Structure 1
Amino acid sequence: MTVDPAPLDIKFAQRFSTNLLSNIIYFVLNIFIGLALVPFFLESLGVAAYGLIPLATSLTGYVTIIIDAINSAVTRFLTVDLQRSDTNRAMETFNTAAFATLGVVLCLVPIAIVAAWYVPSIVSIGDESRMSVFLLFAMVFGSILIRAWSSNFMTVLFAHNRLDLRNYVNITNLVVQLILVVLLFFILGPSLPLVGLSYLIAAATALFVSVRFSHQVCPYLRLSRSHFVMARLREIGGVTGWISLSQLAYLLRYEVALIIVNIMFGEVAGAHYSLVLTWSVLLLGLAGLVTNTFTPMSYSYRARDDRIGLTKFTLFAMRCTGLAMALPIALLCVFSPQIMTIWVGPEYAELSPLAWIVLAPMIVRIQTSCTDPIFAAYLRVRTPALFSIAIGILNIALAMMFPVIFNNGMYGVAYAGSLILLMVGAFFLAYNAHVLHIPLWTFFRPIATGVSALILLASICTIYVWMVPVDSISMLVASCIMISIIYGLVVILRVLKEDERELIRSCLPAPIHKLIPL
């Protein structure tokens, strides 16, 4: 007789610090390796050949949208199945997703090969041979397809709240890419096909590691064709489709701004706008280090149908995230002239107003992201997807109208984006409250905390800049450290409630949690 395993315990508090640390390591490595490879490729391959590499790898971003959608859908179903000790249904979820994804990948292989073959006819390849460019794109496409299928095993890690192991898989992919491309260039000489080969081998290695980790975490989840269920595929596929639509709508809301600025105001304005957008992306990445760790817990509450617990947890996550992210947002806004001067030159200090317009509303977006798992957890994905498409189209219209109506150039595009951001935040805060059958204004309360912290901190920092000249790197660093320490102490000692401090302490390693008083 087979004994079903006990209900899944994701051990949120015990694993939070490990998950967060692994998120930070992956985040830093990703940035470091990305920055380090650019001059390496430029020096070894030349400018023209290098330009083909980001063109090939940029396509991974669009596939990532689909992969993230599959992960979100499968993780939701898998977490609920495991929480309810329904082993058979968990096997159906895992195998249905795995074999369906495998079928799609196999169908895409010939399409990817044909697409790679015609790339040299579509884009300018300079002095590179058609075969070299074909091999680069073919192997990069192959690495994308391998990573797409390996995402099935990553969902097992996510469902068990083993974000640390999930990050180790991603780190393996990055490190193997780096080591292989350097070794191959050193042994065989620089060439585009070797770049593609490094991506392909790295993806295969990451697949192997993800399979091992998946079996280690959940030994009874194995590939089995008999557990492929068409009805389950329709259920998962429907959710995946709507989430994919929401992810594509994200491009309409945020990625399109830079394109509009380039078209309407030229490449110089586009370059200026991209500098501020870089900070926006970094802020989202920084916030994601923490907010991504909340998703498994949200799904866990859904599995137990604990709406009250999910509401309390989400409010806590929003409040703490808002208080934490108010600090870097305020520092970037207030010290934007100094940061721009040090980073790219004094002539860019005049972009400070643009930084305020783009970055300040990010506090709302980041806090709202803490509620995002709710509608997916309850399979209420259609309305958010349709709203996202509609608001994305409105964003394009406003971004093109505001500069004409107000005659404020690229600042009009920024104002339009910030307005849309606030509208999206208001909708999702109210909609997720509706999903949980609680008052619509419930999730607006922690937003007020985050916004108030940002306004107060930015005001104090502005007064500080008026009184103290911040005109060097050392002075900028010292000022940021001093402000951060004072702000952190005030938040811990005066703003956080006793139960919030206790919960935060329980999530941190012993040497650190002693620093937070009860």
Structure 2
Amino acid sequence: MSTRPAPATAQPGAVRPDDGATAYRFGVNVASNLAYFVLSTGLMLWYVPFQVGHLGVAAYGMVPLANSVVMYAIVVSESLYTAYFRYLAIDLNEGNGEAARQTFASASLLTLAACALLLLPFGAFTLLLPRVLDVPPGLEGATRFLFAGAACTMLSGLLTGLFSTSSAIAHRFDLRNLARGASMAARVGVVAACFALWPASLWHVGAGLMASAAIGLAVDVAVWRHLTPTLSFAPWAADRRCVRRLLRMTGWSSVNMLGFLMLMHADLLVINLVFGPEATGRYGAILLIPLLVHTVAEVVMPMLGPLVMARYAVGDTQGVRDLVTDAARLLALGLALPAGLICGLGQPLLTLWLGPDFAGLHIVLVLLVGHLTVNLALRPVAYILTAYDKVRVQGLVTVACGVAYIVLAVAAARWGEWGVAGVAGASALVWTLRNTVVLSAYGARVLGLSPWEFIRPLAGGAVMFVGLSLSGLLAVAALPPGTWPALAATAAALSLGYAALSWSLLLTASDRTRAHALVRWFLARLSPSRQVAC
């Protein structure tokens, strides 16, 4: 365990380790995350075919490609956020107001420095864009503006990562989702309005990105001022020792994020360079579906980091172990449902959503989604490594896996006979080996547990995923759903069967007790004037 100061006497406004752990706050956070999930899912399911229909497949391919390239700047932003969150959470949970102010001032200085350093490479990349990537003829200027808009979003994200630490530590995900929802609404609304007024262009998509960056940042700053009025954006007050401490953790977190982004976003670059913009557009369109599975995980995932950090701050190792083990088990069960439905019903889903030409990408979709049941369920292990300041091994393993993935993906694309499916399959293989063989065992070792501690709880979810996927394939073969209502009915029938089996066979007595308590809480909020029995 890393050296840290002894707990200070709690000051007014300090964040306690058990703040946000009540049924009320948990219920509000879950409801807020669900509302954001529904909003983002609905908008994106409409937004992707809307852009493809107006821009064309080749031009649309530049949109996910721009997001993919700019995502590499998240190596910096997410790494800084990891360091800010860890040390600020410890300071606030211990009630050490002076240390919290020093940490935030030092984080402010590092954020401004990162923004300044990233401006040069992104400016140069935008100018040289047509020489670096395969851009459709005649779209060079519009694509440059699109990448500039994505870069603005990235720079805004650096500042947002600084200010959003307050809402995460205080467990106020309702306010955090307010900023995310406003940003997404601005992004889609600006593009939809421009497409209605003028001929559709990538210029409009870039403008939407810039508008969303400005609005999201403004809301995050307002939330930060509301939740932590004792903190101030004062880079001139940075503490040298605190800056060095943050930089050390940021460095190893950057290595981890670099490898993570290789695993997550190198696929579009490889496909663009090997197969061209048409294949990039087709592959990029279906990437929304695995993104939705990630979004399902985000309904619960962000709440786990602050809870792990709060237990670490008070030395509750057993509490960290129980929390992560239960989270991995329940996440695997929860994620098996959307992943299994997508893999089983993927062919009619692609046909109805994007058209018959995309039905042939069903195997690619299975490779993109199938492994997420296990890999996303193991993400809480990373919170252990962050809390105990063990990110160096995590970073080295992840960047090695990222390099291995790129080699495998290029080999599969150039010399294999699998096409884009080989690129997706290489990612699934390397990512799964990273999480199941190395990082889960290392996280268990940090806590002094068996290497299989966080793998065993995933068995139920993995078995249910396979069963649900096969059931979906059989259902489609027996009675192909040719309309959205028919597809929805098939998915509903499979979901009901999945829910019944999971409830009766895989949930523990304590799981059912917690579920009943949560239902009672929601019913009590709907009808506070009467007692609710459940």
TM-score, normalised via structure 2 length: 0.81
Amino acid at match of 1:92: Q
**Contact 1:276–1:358 (CA<8 Å) still a contact in 2?**
no
C-alpha distance in 2 between matches for 1:407 and 1:119: 30
Of the three residues 375, 385, 401, the one matched with 2:385 is: 375
Q: C-alpha displacement at 1:511, in angstroms? A: 3.4
Question: Is 1:386 paired with 2:393?
Answer: no
1:175-186 aligned at under 5 Å gives the runs: 175-177=185-187
Partner residue, 1:500: 511
Q: Mind listing any 5+ residue stretches in structure 1 that lack a counterpart?
A: none
C-alpha distance in 1 between matches for 2:236 and 2:159: 19
Partner residue, 2:442: 431
Q: C-alpha displacement at 1:174, in angstroms? A: 3.0
Distance change (3 Å), C-alpha of 1:223 and 1:399: closer
1:58-73 aligned at under 5 Å gives the runs: 60-73=70-83
C-alpha distance in 2 between matches for 1:276 and 1:52: 14
SS of aligned partner of 1:17? helix
1:423-462 aligned at under 5 Å gives the runs: 423-426=433-436, 427-462=438-473
Partner residue, 2:529: none
C-alpha distance in 2 between matches for 1:471 and 1:184: 33
1:39-118 aligned at under 5 Å gives the runs: 60-106=70-116
Question: Is 1:486 paired with 2:488?
Answer: no
Partner residue, 1:244: 254
More displaced, 44-53 or 412-421?
44-53
Partner residue, 1:221: 231
**Contact 2:79–2:253 (CA<8 Å) still a contact in 1?**
yes
Distance change (3 Å), C-alpha of 1:459 and 1:44: closer
C-alpha distance in 2 between matches for 1:418 and 1:443: 19
Of the three residues 11, 18, 28, the one matched with 2:20 is: 11
Question: Is 1:309 paired with 2:316?
Answer: no
Q: C-alpha displacement at 1:321, in angstroms? A: 1.0
More displaced, 114-123 or 389-398?
114-123
Partner residue, 1:342: 352
More displaced, 18-27 or 110-119?
110-119
Distance change (3 Å), C-alpha of 1:342 and 1:47: closer
**Contact 1:125–1:133 (CA<8 Å) still a contact in 2?**
no
Partner residue, 2:528: none
**Contact 1:14–1:506 (CA<8 Å) still a contact in 2?**
no
1:193-342 aligned at under 5 Å gives the runs: 200=210, 202-224=212-234, 227-261=237-271, 263=273, 273-274=283-284, 277-342=287-352
More displaced, 334-343 or 151-160?
334-343
1:185-215 C-alpha deviation (Å, 9 max, x unpaired): 9999999888766655654443333232122
C-alpha distance in 1 between matches for 2:49 and 2:479: 37
C-alpha distance in 1 between matches for 2:203 and 2:283: 34
Q: C-alpha displacement at 1:154, in angstroms? A: 0.8
SS of aligned partner of 2:230? coil
Question: Is 1:167 paired with 2:177?
Answer: yes
1:50-88 C-alpha deviation (Å, 9 max, x unpaired): 888777666543333422222222111111111112222
More displaced, 365-374 or 246-255?
246-255
SS of aligned partner of 1:172? helix
Q: C-alpha displacement at 1:493, in angstroms? A: 3.8
C-alpha distance in 2 between matches for 1:134 and 1:362: 33
Q: C-alpha displacement at 1:446, in angstroms? A: 1.0
C-alpha distance in 2 between matches for 1:402 and 1:137: 28
Amino acid at match of 2:484: I
Amino acid at match of 2:306: P
Amino acid at match of 2:344: V
**Contact 1:18–1:164 (CA<8 Å) still a contact in 2?**
yes
Q: C-alpha displacement at 1:310, in angstroms? A: 0.9
Amino acid at match of 1:483: L
C-alpha distance in 2 between matches for 1:333 and 1:452: 14
Q: C-alpha displacement at 1:242, in angstroms? A: 1.6
C-alpha distance in 1 between matches for 2:276 and 2:202: 31
1:92-149 C-alpha deviation (Å, 9 max, x unpaired): 111110122124435656776777677799887977997x998877676455434422
Alignment length (residue pairs) = 516
SS of aligned partner of 1:335? helix
C-alpha distance in 2 between matches for 1:121 and 1:352: 33
Partner residue, 2:485: 474
C-alpha distance in 2 between matches for 1:112 and 1:58: 13
1:12-47 C-alpha deviation (Å, 9 max, x unpaired): 343333223333433444455556667888999999
C-alpha distance in 1 between matches for 2:146 and 2:55: 13
More displaced, 481-490 or 410-419?
410-419
Q: C-alpha displacement at 1:489, in angstroms? A: 2.9
Q: C-alpha displacement at 1:501, in angstroms? A: 2.2
**Contact 2:441–2:452 (CA<8 Å) still a contact in 1?**
yes
More displaced, 245-254 or 398-407?
398-407
Amino acid at match of 2:115: V
SS of aligned partner of 2:300? helix
**Contact 1:10–1:296 (CA<8 Å) still a contact in 2?**
no
Partner residue, 1:365: 375
Amino acid at match of 2:19: I
More displaced, 307-316 or 288-297?
288-297
C-alpha distance in 2 between matches for 1:178 and 1:406: 38
Partner residue, 1:395: 405
Q: C-alpha displacement at 1:231, in angstroms? A: 1.0
SS of aligned partner of 1:299? helix
C-alpha distance in 2 between matches for 1:191 and 1:136: 10
**Contact 1:14–1:507 (CA<8 Å) still a contact in 2?**
no
**Contact 2:183–2:216 (CA<8 Å) still a contact in 1?**
yes
Q: C-alpha displacement at 1:379, in angstroms? A: 1.0
Q: Mind listing any 5+ residue stretches in structure 2 that lack a counterpart?
A: 1-8, 526-531
More displaced, 476-485 or 455-464?
455-464
TM-score, normalised via structure 1 length: 0.83
Q: C-alpha displacement at 1:225, in angstroms? A: 5.5
Distance change (3 Å), C-alpha of 1:301 and 1:517: farther
Q: C-alpha displacement at 1:344, in angstroms? A: 3.4
SS of aligned partner of 1:322? helix
C-alpha distance in 2 between matches for 1:458 and 1:42: 28
C-alpha distance in 2 between matches for 1:101 and 1:198: 24
**Contact 1:17–1:509 (CA<8 Å) still a contact in 2?**
no
**Among the aligned pairs, what percent are the same residue?**
27
**Contact 2:72–2:261 (CA<8 Å) still a contact in 1?**
no
